[in-house]
């Protein structure tokens, strides 16, 4: 059975990304909605978000062009690629240069996704929360949505019995001057992480 026009296959995209980045020895990890879903918070998305070692950012163009993508936007902190084939989805790369984001890559763990047993690195919940704090500060229009996602990640972790490193979560909120937001987000969850 063939695919319908416009069908987007996240697994094909993730397989391409994994092959490409692993092949060049790049440290990377899935972030964004795909990571949130892996951590128990499903969200609708149309793209794959990836954190990569910033030292490899300039090498993406040639590799992704061969896989069926074209660069649509790039700056020091990120690069964005659109598919040139209908079964792939857009990919956004966040370039890790600073100690906090590079440490996120060091902590990422490979998890199995999809029917074919693809193993991809995914940032830890605490680090995904940190990226969301950064996003809500950098783009005030995203603030409410990012706060909802952070609360959902905290609730999902509590429901699963996952012990979070709240010190790291607090550090991210403090880094961006958002400590009060964390206090509100933790309401009713304090005992779950005690």
- Going by C-beta distance under 8 Å and a sequence separation of 6 or more, which residues neighbour residue 188? none
**Residue finishing a domain among 123, 153, 171:** 123
Per-residue pLDDT reduced to its tens digit, 47-62: 999 999 999 998 988 8
Please give the Cα distance from 60 to 166 (Å, whole number): 34
**Residue finishing a domain among 123, 146, 172:** 123
Are 103 and 139 contained in the same domain?
A: no
**Residue finishing a domain among 89, 123, 157:** 123
Which structural domain range is residue 111 located in? 1-123
How many domains in the chain?
2
Are 100 and 23 contained in the same domain?
A: yes
Q: Which two tokens stand for residue 134?
A: 């950064």
Mean of pLDDT values over 72-79? 94
Burial of 187 (0-12, 13-18, 19+ CB in 10 A): exposed
Are 104 and 153 contained in the same domain?
A: no
Mean of pLDDT values over 175-181? 95
Please give the Cα distance from 180 to 163 (Å, whole number): 22
3-class state of residue 157 by DSSP: helix
Are 118 and 129 contained in the same domain?
A: no
Per-residue pLDDT reduced to its tens digit, 118-143: 899 999 999 999 999 999 999 999 99
Are 137 and 167 contained in the same domain?
A: yes
Cβ atoms 159, 125 nearer than 8 A: no
Are 111 and 130 contained in the same domain?
A: no
Buried b (16+ CB within 10 A) or exposed e, 120-134: bbbbbbbbbbbbbbb
* pTM exceeding the 0.85 threshold for the entire prediction: yes
Please give the Cα distance from 153 to 85 (Å, whole number): 33
Are 63 and 9 contained in the same domain?
A: yes
Q: Which two tokens stand for residue 184?
A: 């509100």
Q: What angle do CA 81, 148, 37 make, to 5 degrees?
A: 55
DSSP conformation class of 115: T
């Amino acid at each position: 059975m063939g695919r319908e026009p416009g069908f987007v296959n996240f697994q094909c995209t993730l397989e391409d990304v994994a092959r490409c980045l692993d092949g060049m020895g790049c440290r990377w990890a899935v972030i964004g909605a795909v990571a949130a879903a892996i951590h128990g918070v499903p969200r609708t998305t149309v793209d794959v978000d990836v954190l990569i070692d910033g030292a490899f950012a300039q090498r993406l163009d040639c590799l992704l062009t061969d896989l069926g993508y074209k660069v649509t936007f790039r700056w020091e902190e990120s690069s964005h690629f659109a598919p040139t084939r209908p079964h792939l989805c857009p990919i956004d790369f966040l370039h890790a240069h600073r100690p906090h984001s590079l440490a996120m890559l060091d902590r990422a763990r490979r998890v199995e996704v999809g029917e074919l047993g693809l193993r991809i690195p995914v940032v830890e919940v605490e680090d995904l929360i940190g990226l969301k704090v950064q996003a809500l500060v950098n783009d005030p229009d995203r603030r409410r949505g990012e706060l909802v996602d952070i609360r959902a990640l905290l609730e999902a972790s509590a429901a699963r019995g996952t012990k979070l490193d709240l010190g790291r979560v607090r550090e991210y909120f403090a880094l961006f001057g958002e400590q009060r937001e964390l206090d509100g987000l933790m309401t009713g969850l304090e005992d779950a992480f005690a």
